[in-house]
Structure formats: structure tokens, C-alpha cells
């Protein structure tokens, strides 16, 4: 298994543009988490899914953020419109139950 | 509410010195705690979990329910231990579970 796959690895965009981050979890895992990592706030849980169903999105900072999981092998995190303060590394992680999470390599987002 | 606190953002020690990374938690249920590590340019990975009571790369962590702490310790730090360390809590929520992380501690081991 290639582990959790995220794309793109790097994204540079201009303020106001739509950004879509993608994640492929490990096959068989039933939990998927989206985290945001910044120097100031560390690792923040944005949203997580259990069996493709969003369970808790209270960490999503604003309505500009949305996430979907249309099937067990794919999830997206969308920011529309993007702002410079959204610049961060976004991690996707999956697990079987929420015990040990396997993280993707992250997407480094820069919004100019 | 579930919360994980890592009071030190940065920690610097010399090679061979003992190191302790602090973690405190707030959780009303029975806690399950983990330490994750992120080496430079690598993805986060599990270092150890309290239920295993194991030592990984010389690191140990003991859950102290009285003090609501799960500090990570190593008696003799090595340069390759330099990394970002995150303490995490597994919290049950309405039939599901989530992992809540602290803000992390950046450990630097100097030669």
C-alpha cells in the first residue's frame, strides 16, 4: 500500500481563487481526518469522516471551507474563495478506528 | 471538551542529556493518548501509545491520570531525535472517535 496519498503536494494561488485539495486514504480505513498545520496553531483538526459520513466539522474555520467524501477512497477539501491567512500545510490522515492515524505527506498551500 | 496542551513550543537540549516533552490533557472519559513525531521533510508518524507501554527509540511515556499528563521522556537524547513532537488524545464523540492534537513541541538536540 502506498499509504495516504495527497495531491497536489504544493499549491500556490492568488487570493480569491478556488483551491481543491485531494486525498486518497488507505484502503480499508474507515476514518478520514483533515488537519491544518501552522506555526502559530500547530495541528488543528478541521473535519473528520467515519464511513464517508462527516461527523464533526466544528474545526472548519469558515464557510469558505468545505469537505466531501463521495466514496471510501477519495476526499476533497475545498477553499472558496481563498485568502492569504489560509496559507498552511494541510494534512489528510486515515485510520481503522481512530487509534493510529496514518498521515499523508501534506499539501503546502500558499495564497498570495 | 477535549483538549491537549503542550506548554513548550520549543525545547533545546544537548546530545546525551535527558529530555522530557510535556503533555497535559483534558477529557471527561477514559483517555487514550499517543505521541506522534514529524522528522524534517517527512510525514507525521506514530511514535508510541500509552496502552502499549512500550519504549520506542528509547522514548517512554507514562499516563498519569491524577495529573492528567502523558509526558514523553528519553534519558539520553540523540541528534537524530530532533523533530516536531505532537501529543494526541483519542476522544469518543457520539459513537465516533477523533484524534485531538496538541500544538506540538519542536525538539532540537545540539551536538
pLDDT at A76 over 70: yes
CA B52, B38, A11: angle at the middle one, nearest 5? Answer: 135
Check if the beta carbon of residue A76 is closer than 8 Å to that of residue A23.
yes
Tell me the pLDDT tens digit for each residue of A22-47.
999 999 999 999 999 998 888 899 99
What pLDDT score was predicted for residue B69? Answer: 95
Residue A25 forms contact with B (CB below 8 Å): no
Where is B73: in which H helix or E strand? strand B72-74
Can you give the pLDDT at residue A1? Answer: 66
Q: Are B102 and A95 an interchain contact pair (Cβ–Cβ within 8 Å)?
A: no
On chain B, the residues whose CB falls within 8 A of the CB of A34 are none
- And the C-alpha cell for B85? 513532537
Residues of A with CB below 8 A from B99's CB?
33, 45, 93, 95, 98, 101
Q: How many angstroms separate the first and last alpha carbons of chain B?
A: 41
Average pLDDT of every residue of chain B:
91
pLDDT confidence of A98, banded at 50, 70, 90? low
Contact B107, B22 (CB under 8 A): no
Chain B residues within 8 A of A52 when measuring between CB atoms = none
Q: pLDDT class for A79, splitting at 50, 70, 90?
A: very high
Q: What count of other Cβ atoms lies within 10 Å of the Cβ of residue B27?
A: 18
Residues in chain B: 111
Check CB contact under 8 Å for A50 and B96. Answer: yes
In this structure, of A23-32, A83-92, A98-107, the range with the lowest mean pLDDT score is A98-107
Inter-chain CB proximity A45 and B98 less than 8 Å: yes
Strand locations in chain A (E): 5-7, 10-13, 19-24, 31-38, 42-50, 53-56, 65-71, 74-79, 88-95, 102-103, 107-111
Of A56, A104, A106, Cβ closest to residue B98:
A56
pLDDT digits (tens, 9 = 90+) for B63-100: 999 999 999 999 999 999 999 999 999 888 777 788 88
Taking the Cβ of residue A101 and every Cβ of chain B, the question of whether any pair is shorter than 8 Å is answered with: yes
Contacts of B10 by beta carbon, 8 Å cutoff, 6+ apart = B105, B106, B108
A35 Cα to chain B: minimum distance (Å): 10
Amino acid at each position: 500500500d502506498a499509504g495516504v496519498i495527497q495531491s497536489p503536494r504544493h499549491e500556490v494561488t492568488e487570493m480569491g481563487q478556488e483551491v481543491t485539495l485531494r486525498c486518497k486514504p488507505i484502503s480499508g480505513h474507515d476514518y478520514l481526518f483533515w488537519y491544518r498545520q501552522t506555526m502559530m496553531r500547530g495541528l488543528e483538526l478541521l473535519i473528520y469522516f467515519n464511513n464517508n459520513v462527516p461527523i464533526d466539522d466544528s474545526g472548519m474555520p469558515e464557510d469558505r471551507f468545505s469537505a466531501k467524501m463521495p466514496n471510501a477512497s477519495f476526499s476533497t477539501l475545498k477553499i472558496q474563495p481563498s485568502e492569504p491567512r489560509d496559507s498552511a500545510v494541510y494534512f489528510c490522515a486515515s485510520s481503522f478506528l481512530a487509534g493510529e492515524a496514518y498521515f499523508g505527506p501534506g499539501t503546502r498551500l500558499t495564497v498570495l | 471538551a477535549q483538549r491537549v496542551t503542550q506548554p513548550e513550543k520549543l525545547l533545546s537540549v544537548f546530545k546525551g542529556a535527558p529530555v522530557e516533552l510535556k503533555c497535559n490533557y483534558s477529557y471527561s472519559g477514559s483517555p487514550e493518548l499517543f505521541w506522534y513525531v514529524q522528522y524534517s521533510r517527512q510525514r507525521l508518524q506514530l511514535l508510541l501509545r500509552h496502552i502499549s507501554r512500550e519504549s520506542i527509540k528509547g522514548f517512554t511515556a507514562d499516563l498519569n491520570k491524577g495529573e492528567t499528563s502523558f509526558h514523553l521522556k528519553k534519558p539520553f537524547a540523540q541528534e537524530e531525535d530532533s523533530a516536531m513532537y505532537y501529543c494526541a488524545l483519542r476522544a469518543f464523540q457520539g459513537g465516533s472517535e477523533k484524534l485531538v492534537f496538541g500544538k506540538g513541541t519542536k525538539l532540537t538536540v545540539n551536538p
